[in-house]
Amino acid sequence: MKTALAVAFALAALCHAGPVNYTQKYTWKNVRTGASGGFVDGIVFSTKQKGVAYARTDIGGLYRLNADDSWTPLQDYVNNTLWNEHGVDAVALDPNDASRVYIAAGIYTNSWDPYNGKILSSTDYGKTWSRSYFPFKFGGNMGGRQMGERLAVDPNKGSIIYFGARSGKGLWKSSDYGKTWAKVPSYTAVGTFIIAPGDTGQNGDIIGITFVTFDSTSSSAGTASKRIFVGTADTSATVYMSEDAGVTWSAIPGQPTGFLSHTGKYSPTEKALYVSYVNTADTYGGGDGYVYKYYVESKKWVQILDDNGTGFGFGGLSLDPQKNGTVMVATYHQWWPDGNIYRSLDGGATWTTIWDFDWSGVQPPVKRRFDWDVSEANWLPEVTGDKATGWMMGSLAIDPFDSEHFLYGTGATIFGSHKLTNWDKNINFNLSSLSYGMEETAVLGLTSPPQGPPLLSVVGDVGGWRHDNLDVAPYKNHLNPWWGTTRSIDHAGSKPNIVVRSGDASGGLALSNDTGITWHIHANAGTWSGGRAQLSANGDFVVWAVNNGIYVSVNEYPFQKVPNIPSGSYYTANDRNHNGLFYAAESSNFYVSTDAGTSYTKTTASIGYIREIGVNPFRIGDVWVATDSGIWHSIDSGKSFGKAGPATDAYHIQLGKSATSSGYPSIFAAATIQGWAGHYRSDECVP
């Protein structure tokens, strides 16, 4: 979880324009949630060194596996021009040098992401990175992000790397360990499939190339591999091959049509390419599919698995190099009764599944081959319900050094086992949540009440938690109601046991009177959803910025729209020391309410674009504002503002308990000061 970051950034005095002190240091730790809580869309093991593996996430960066099954975050750095590197579109390892790892970094190909993509290269297991900049965008959080891997290192010549781009940008190649890149002009199949043509969000762009893989036996060490396979998101011809080290390319004859290639893995011992197919790249919706096998010597395609029109298709696929013919593949989107995984020991001639469905009605309907272990994430059953295997299973990997060990990513966590071959003995194996340390959920709101738990959080996808101990996974999500994506959370200043949260569902406003232990839906939440909710100091008023307006309710009576503030997108804040004081910002306009949010008066439009409002929790009317021009301060409830300190740009600002004897709170900000973008603290802002 990105509430605390693994890299200590410089600290500075926010309120004085003198030299910045960069000598103070913090030891940062992630708040433990017990599971990733978000989409793990790629897992890759090193074939060179035992125990080396990496997992990529859509918005949370790259993680490296540790010996105790935990994960180390490799991209918990902060910079206002590097935030999009937390989106990882692909990952590749050098098969002959375990210290070398590469990622394709970028979050969106849409207009709202201003930054082009980069290939990041590391020679020290991801501890440090060098960057190669591309002239177009990558999309780690775009549709089809669990396809792949679209980045691959030549197993015979590690200086050669291929990258398959999105957006119709084609195939790219580096011959110098990722330092420089050039488009492969002879490769023209760009993968033209679009999930939802015309969509302006995640599903309106060309998916592009889905995987790149090599036949390691096609040349000798030190010479570029001659046989290369490239998969595309294109229903007419999906798999292309070069047999002259990438000079020329052609679609492999006889391949299935009407489906997209998802994952391709080559078996050198069988001289065969395994390919999983699905008829869509929609991250959240399935489709029909197959698994095929292409024998390069006989040039024949053989269908080895069919979902029989059940509408889920196939996604993550892995081979066991220690057990010739052992292959596993996950269903792309099987929502009922659970996601499934298929396993074959004979190259796909016969299969068993991780669970079977009993139609007789005598046994429990789903007969599992595993015992489910979520002891590291006790809240997970509340999210998954009766689904134990998971969903959105786009990546599955068998440890090349240990046939007992496998991992796969889902939309909520990583599952895996160290007793995999029990499956073949008809003995249940332990299927465990194995994502400790991978706290990659999108954090959408936090509050730290002065009494009760140290932290209450709300997040995307899995709701959020009451954190009674920051070093121990929370036991339960926020429940009754539970919303997948929860937008905001706030506690009342003088009655911190009263808490409000808003979420993406009809009736998306809930209240708690016991600091988040129990909840009930606001009596007049109606059908509204989302937005940002705040409580007055006594907890009797709720101000809800929703539906392009600001609405107020007292004691759960019907909401009334604030009449004298223009429609728009708002940032709201409350004064925790005065029941009537509320603040709001829309674009560059700052508003003040003295009647518990019932009406507002604009006080200024001259301090820059307002990103966040921070309020002194110990003194009335002491307000701080983060804007694109820096940090601004008011001691008269926002009637007037003065520039505070040397920050030239600020994204977040909040105040907390004093770190000194001054009695004035410490101020925390994400800002740019003297050219350094990072997290700052000041203890010198005594007015």
Active site amino acids: 58, 461
607 neighbors 653 (Cβ within 8 angstroms): no
Q: Do 608 and 628 contact (CB within 8 A), yes or no?
A: yes
- Separation of alpha carbons 456 and 157, rounded Å: 50
296: left (phi over 0), alpha (psi -120 to 50) or beta: alpha
- Helix, strand, coil percent content, the chain, rounded in steps of 5: 5, 40, 60
Helix-then-strand count for the chain, H and E: 1, 53
**CA 162 to chain centroid:** 24
CB 82 within 8 A of CB 106: no
Structural contact between residues 562 and 552, judged by C-beta atoms closer than 8 angstroms? yes
Query: Which letter does DSSP use for residue 436 in this model?
Result: T
CA distance linking residue 324 with residue 319, whole number of Å: 8
CA distance 566 to 576: 25
Query: How far apart are alpha carbons 330 and 236 in whole angstroms?
Result: 23
Please state, in angstroms and as integers, the Cα–Cα distance from residue 184 to each residue in 65, 90, 148, 164, 205, following that order.
33, 18, 19, 10, 21
Count other C-beta atoms under 10 Å from residue 13's C-beta.
Answer: 20
Spatial separation of the C-alpha atoms in residues 529 and 505, rounded to whole Å: 5
Three-class SS of residue 53? strand
Distance CA 324, CA 346 (A): 8
Q: Is the dihedral of CA 134, 136, 142, 143 positive or negative?
A: negative
Q: Return all residues near 498 (Cβ < 8 A) that are at least 6 apart.
A: 491, 492, 511, 512, 513, 535, 539
As a whole number of angstroms, the distance between CA 164 and CA 142 comes to: 15
Report the distance separating Cα 249 and Cα 266, nearest Å. Answer: 18
DSSP string, 339-363: --EEEESSTTSS-EESEEE-TTSSS
Helix (H, G, I), strand (E, B) or coil at 423: helix
- Distance from C-alpha of 411 to C-alpha of 516, rounded to nearest angstrom: 25
Q: Does residue 290 sit in helix, strand or coil?
A: strand
What residues have CB less than 8 Å from 436, skipping those under 6 apart?
32, 34, 35, 69, 70, 71, 376
The helix or strand, by DSSP H or E, that contains position 571, with its residue range, turns out to be: strand 571-574
In the block, residue with structure tokens 């375990």: 98
Tell me, letter by letter, the H, E, C secondary structure of 169-212: CCEEEECCCCCCCEECCCCCCCCCCECCCCCCCCCCCECCEEEE
C-alpha 465/C-alpha 458 separation (Å) is 7
Please say whether the beta carbons of 55 and 409 come within 8 A: yes
Closest alpha carbon to 153 in 187, 117, 185, 121:
121
Q: Which residues pair with 432 in a beta bridge?
A: 373, 416
Q: Strand order in 395-398's β-sheet?
A: 370-373, 429-433, 414-417, 406-409, 395-398
